[in-house]
A and B are shown apart, each in its own frame.
Chain A
Amino acid sequence: MRDKNLVLFVALVSVLLGPSTLIAQNGSAGAPPAKPYTTPKTPWGEPDLQGTFSNRTITPFERPANVNGREFFTPEEVAAMEKAAASRNGDEGRNKGTRGDVERAYNDFWWDRGTKVTTLRTSMVVDPPDGKVPPLTEEARKRQADEAKRPAFRGAGANGRGTDSWLDRSTFERCITRGLPSAMSPTAYNNNYRITQSPGFVAIQIEMLGGTRVIPTDGRQHVNSSIRQWMGNSTGRWEGDTLVVETTNFTDKILYRGAAENLQLVERIKRVGPDEIEYRVTITDPTTFTRPWTLVIPYVNTGEDMFEYACHEGNYGMEGILSGAREEERKAAEAKKGSPQ
């Protein structure tokens, strides 16, 4: 469904901008000028990243084909995209009685995908320079073919691999986690984060599915490599005004684009203005990706409160999915019994 939406989105942008606009622009024209900014300090002298932020954005994840490799949109292109996003109500192009219509659920009042690009970047992927996720290794492609044989589904998106058991549903649907770096990346709603600090620690509370990352910056090393966690093990340090977080020790129970226990992340988090944090993450797994790659996602200060999530208590969706499948099987069995030989 989202692939389809992405295609629709790219098509919409192409229509709005027109091919001549896109061909006429080259290089990094439209790049934002560097603004001098001094990061405030906490009372104990560390850079102060604290606040509540949202990372919702309409910036494409990977660079769309129709920008001819440009790293930045022009302000005119951005204005057109943001206008289109603001006027969207979620009812466009829907056909009743189709799977796609059910999947899109309801109109945009319920969704919070954002209406701003925040930066002029044409993609969140900034490295490789083509703005695309690097190809998977041969080994990773082989692993993918074997995924269906695993006892539990390892995907972290909004869809499972089947409906025989909750173990066939994604870790997202199972209310466990979207994993990293997904949990730090925007999705359809609840794209809210709260950063708090104390001497030697930075905590990042994540609204979607709940949970807080507590990152020590006191110089400690990673835990023993035999300890494996859904969100890995993070250690932080300050490089100037940038918080650098290295995360390893991931479990093999969740995938990020095919990567699991060998995933290594280096996040670089810094304020770029009074209301904006730049979140940069470099993703490395030589067993999965043919090269390291980097995402940049803007986090914008909201000043809003965070809300709790309490996912399991209200997760009627899981029950509905599994009991729905049982009911369909029952009906199919009945129809088979009743049909003439």
Chain B
Amino acid sequence: MGIKRYGVLLGALLLASGAALGAHHSFAAEFDANQPIQLRGTIAKVEWINPHTWIHLDVKKPDGSTERWMIEGGTPNTLLRRGLTKASLPEGTEILVDGYKAKNGTNRANGRDLTLTDGRKLFMGSSGTGAPRDGKDASEK
């Protein structure tokens, strides 16, 4: 344990520095690599908050009932700068989520990949914004 802690600390010391790769918090501490999950649902709402956005998803279960899930995304500031607005992810949009379940057993997951039902990956945008198409992006014309 001592060695492990020392290692973590050393890592933290190195990372505190400004190496240009850090997120706000540890995802591996929050989500479980051993519990990959796939969800298909419709967007109920998007929490447009720092340090991370949360997409609320209504997922239909086999018995017909609906379960609410929360999917962690990136900082809204970056999304805004990339041209995404609240209108980009309207309620009712159906998406597929490929991610990892929260360790705490609640209906939370991180969104490793978010895909629209026609197969387009949400936010992958190497051209344009990558946001759902709304006719505003040059790449759509």
- How far, in Å, is B85 (CB) from chain A's closest CB? 13
In the complex, are the beta carbons of B78 and A111 less than 8 A apart? yes
In the complex, are the beta carbons of A255 and B13 less than 8 A apart? yes
In the complex, are the beta carbons of B11 and A159 less than 8 A apart? yes
Task: Select one of A97, A172, A295 contacting B25, CB under 8 A.
Answer: A172
In the complex, are the beta carbons of B20 and A321 less than 8 A apart? no
| Chain B residues positioned under 8 Å from A173 (CB to CB) | 24-26
Given contacts A6-B19, A310-B50, A311-B51, contact A158 B25 (CB under 8 A): yes
Q: Considering the complex, which residues of chain A in the window 87-104 have a beta carbon less than 8 Å from any beta carbon of chain B?
A: 87, 89, 96-104
Which DSSP category, helix, strand, loop or mixed, fits chain A's interface? loop
- How far, in Å, is A230 (CB) from chain B's closest CB? 13
A161 to B3, CA, bound (A): 12
Check A41 for interface membership: any CB of B closer than 8 A. no
Task: Select one of A6, A104, A309, A316 contacting B54, CB under 8 A.
Answer: A316
Check A202 for interface membership: any CB of B closer than 8 A. no
| Chain A residues positioned under 8 Å from B116 (CB to CB) | none
For B130, the closest partner residue in chain A by CB is A109
A167 to B32, CA, bound (A): 22
Check A162 for interface membership: any CB of B closer than 8 A. yes
Check B94 for interface membership: any CB of A closer than 8 A. no
Q: Considering the complex, which residues of chain A in the window 266-280 have a beta carbon less than 8 Å from any beta carbon of chain B?
A: none
A295 to B73, CA, bound (A): 32
In the complex, are the beta carbons of B49 and A320 less than 8 A apart? no
In the complex, are the beta carbons of B12 and A170 less than 8 A apart? yes
In the complex, are the beta carbons of B16 and A157 less than 8 A apart? yes
| Chain B residues positioned under 8 Å from A56 (CB to CB) | 20
For B76, the closest partner residue in chain A by CB is A307
Which DSSP category, helix, strand, loop or mixed, fits chain B's interface? mixed
In the complex, are the beta carbons of A309 and B104 less than 8 A apart? no
| Chain A residues positioned under 8 Å from B22 (CB to CB) | 2, 157-158, 172, 187-188
A182 to B20, CA, bound (A): 11
- How far, in Å, is B95 (CB) from chain A's closest CB? 13
In the complex, are the beta carbons of B110 and A105 less than 8 A apart? yes
Q: Considering the complex, which residues of chain A in the window 285-341 have a beta carbon less than 8 Å from any beta carbon of chain B?
A: 295, 297, 304, 307-311, 313-318, 320-321, 323-328
For B102, the closest partner residue in chain A by CB is A320
In the complex, are the beta carbons of A2 and B49 less than 8 A apart? no
| Chain A residues positioned under 8 Å from B31 (CB to CB) | 102, 320, 324
| Chain A residues positioned under 8 Å from B25 (CB to CB) | 158, 169-170, 172-173, 315, 317-318, 321
Q: Which residues of A contact B (CB under 8 A)?
A: 1-3, 5-6, 56-58, 61, 87, 89, 96-107, 109-114, 124, 133, 144-145, 147-148, 153, 155-163, 169-170, 172-173, 175, 178-179, 181-182, 185-190, 192, 207, 255-258, 295, 297, 304, 307-311, 313-318, 320-321, 323-328
Q: Which residues of B contact A (CB under 8 A)?
A: 2, 5-6, 8-34, 36, 47, 49-52, 54, 70, 72-82, 100, 102-106, 108, 110-114, 121, 123-126, 130
